[in-house]
Chain A
Amino acid sequence: MLTVKDLKIEFFDHDLPEVAVKDVDFTIKDGEILGIVGESGSGKSMTAMAIAGLLNRKDLTKSGMIDLDGTDILNSPRSKIREIQGNEIGFVFQDPLNSMNPVLKVGAQVEEAMRIRKKELGFSKEDMKNRALEVMKSVGLDDAERIYESYPHQISGGQRQRAMIAAALVLKPKLLICDEPTTALDVTVQKRIIDVLKELNQKTGTSILFISHDLSVIKALCDRVVVMKDGLVVEEGSVKEIFENPTKEYTKQLIF
């Protein structure tokens, strides 16, 4: 469903071009969970942002191709990309506290994607609330009614991250991009989030692109993995292959 080809991203630091991502190729099939693993500066987040169409900064140059079911994300006009965001691609950020607006109730933030498309969807207030509660329950927020009415600071970090996942899923996107969604969380909470993502993938067939620096998390969740270093793809393969026979020295070092 998603094909990334020859992706190259450059940015300018004091007028000197620096390559953030180069020669990146990979595909995600329907219903697949792909992991990208790498350390800081590897370009993994840049790649994810490019796929989500979030790189519109003027100081960046992008080339190559990102094809999502026939739409070229890199070269589409902004209006087209806005349509894709939310509808076809959901995005979950690393820090659930900073990615939520502290003065809006959680429910309102989960509904946000529906609200801006209210006319096209023909949803009433009731519809939106029902859909929001439904999604929130599906990501394991059993106490959805209370959390719907809470402010972000009133719920725990794990609940916040689930709410953000719910917000990303509310329009049933085909692809969910998670950028280090569990890095800021405790391991016990992390495991529950991973379980939620797994279940979601099995039940609805949503493809997931999961970015992490932690190979063991990738191993627990993903079908295939791409290892990145300094903007380049070092190794790619099924999780099993990579763990049993890492061919590159760098991959071995990443396994703790």
Chain B
Amino acid sequence: MSEKVCEVKNLTYLYPKSDKGVKNVSLYVNKGSIVGLLGESGCGKSTLAKCISSQLIPQSGEIVCQKIGYIFQDNYASLNPAKRVGWLLKETIKYGNPEKFSEYEKRIKNILEDVELDESVLEHYPSELSGGQRQRIGIAMALLSNPDILIADEPVSALDVTVQKQVIKLIKKLNERKNLAILFISHDIKVVREICNYIYILKDGELIEEGDSEDLFTNPSNEYTKNLLDSSYLE
């Protein structure tokens, strides 16, 4: 039995004056595993991510998580456009991991190696980088605070297919090398199938099915899951 780095028990968060949100969701992420959270727009997957990363305060339920790193979907808006990449990384260390600030240059160098970027990006503004490079910077910023679990909210949805593949490869590599747990949130079945070991399927705020990646794709039990698989033109 491996260690749980993040566990959510009976979590409920409903938006004010509506019945949208997440209802009574329980899930956990083991150390070193990549867990997928799959659902269509409006199913509450981002809400769940926001609750876990304490951007939203749930009405009921329990969240026990070790240190979280967060990757946003929109790599354009998630990096401050007015600052150079070097400044952004430095700021992240300064506030995310202040005890290590004295050796920040070394840290930045290491982290850039981890995400396979050249040091020249430090001098650039985010708008001068490509989408894939920006998302790598996003990942680097999440890693700088030494997280135990990475929450990735649609990290590759805005990217081109070939770039998606590279970023997915990178996330897999980080998972293996650092034994980092990842909660991978996406609407894209192909991407989730590619990367995740275990998958939860969310619909209208409720978990409707879960299982090992293999089982779920070969033997979906729920009608909705079947429909979802059927609609995705999988090979």
| A, B in one complex | yes
Which residue numbers of A lie inside 8 Å of B, CB to CB? 39-40, 186-188, 190-191, 213-217, 219-220, 250, 253-256
- Chain A residue, CB-CB nearest to B165: A253
Partner of A186, one of B41, B163, B194: B41
Residue pair A39, B231 in contact (C-beta under 8 Å) = no
Beyond A40-B160, A220-B233, A256-B235, 16 additional contacts (C-beta under 8 Å) are: A39-B160, A187-B40, A187-B228, A187-B231, A188-B40, A188-B228, A190-B231, A191-B233, A214-B161, A216-B234, A217-B233, A253-B161, A253-B162, A253-B165, A255-B235, A256-B165
Interface positions of B from 16 to 58, Cβ below 8 Å from A: 40-41
CA distance A92 to B40 in the complex (A): 23
Cβ of B106 under 8 Å from chain A: no
Asked whether B233 lies within 8 Å of A219 as measured between CB atoms, the reply is yes
Task: Give Cα distance in the complex from A213 to B158, angstroms.
Answer: 12
Q: Is the CB of A213 within 8 A of B233?
A: no
Partner of B190, one of A191, A213, A220, A256: A256
Q: How far is the CA of A187 from the CA of B193 in the complex (A)?
A: 15
Q: Across the interface, name the chain A residue whose C-beta is closest to B164.
A: A256
A64 to B131, CA, bound (A): 32
21 contacts between A and B (CB under 8 A): A39-B160, A39-B161, A39-B162, A39-B163, A40-B131, A186-B40, A187-B40, A187-B187, A187-B189, A187-B228, A187-B232, A188-B40, A188-B228, A191-B231, A191-B233, A219-B233, A253-B161, A253-B165, A254-B161, A256-B190, A256-B194
How distant is A162 from chain B, measured CB to nearest CB, in Å? 16
Does B230 have its Cβ within 8 Å of any Cβ on chain A? yes
User: Bound complex: CA of A87 vs CA of B231, how far in Å?
Assistant: 33
Neighbouring B residues of A191 by C-beta, 8 Å? 230-231, 233
Assess whether B227 is interfacial by the CB under 8 Å rule: yes
Task: State the majority secondary structure of interface residues on A.
Answer: helix
Judge whether B187 and A186 touch: CB under 8 Å: yes
Give B134-172 as 1s and 0s: 1 = Cβ < 8 Å from A's Cβ atoms: 000000000000000000000000001111010000000
> Quick one: closest A residue to B224, CB to CB?
A188
B235 touches which one: A186, A213, A216, A250 (CB < 8 A)?
Answer: A216
B187 and A254 contacting across the interface, CB-CB below 8 Å: no
Interface hub of B161, B187, B230 (most chain A Cβ within 10 A): B161
Known A187-B40, A187-B187, A256-B194; judge A213-B161 contact (CB<8 A).
Answer: yes
CB neighbours (8 Å) of A220 from chain B are 233
Question: Once the chains are docked, how many angstroms separate the CA of A39 from the CA of B231?
Answer: 22
Q: Are B161 and A216 in contact (CB under 8 A)?
A: no
Query: Which residues 209-235 in B have Cβ within 8 Å of A in the complex?
Result: 227-228, 230-235
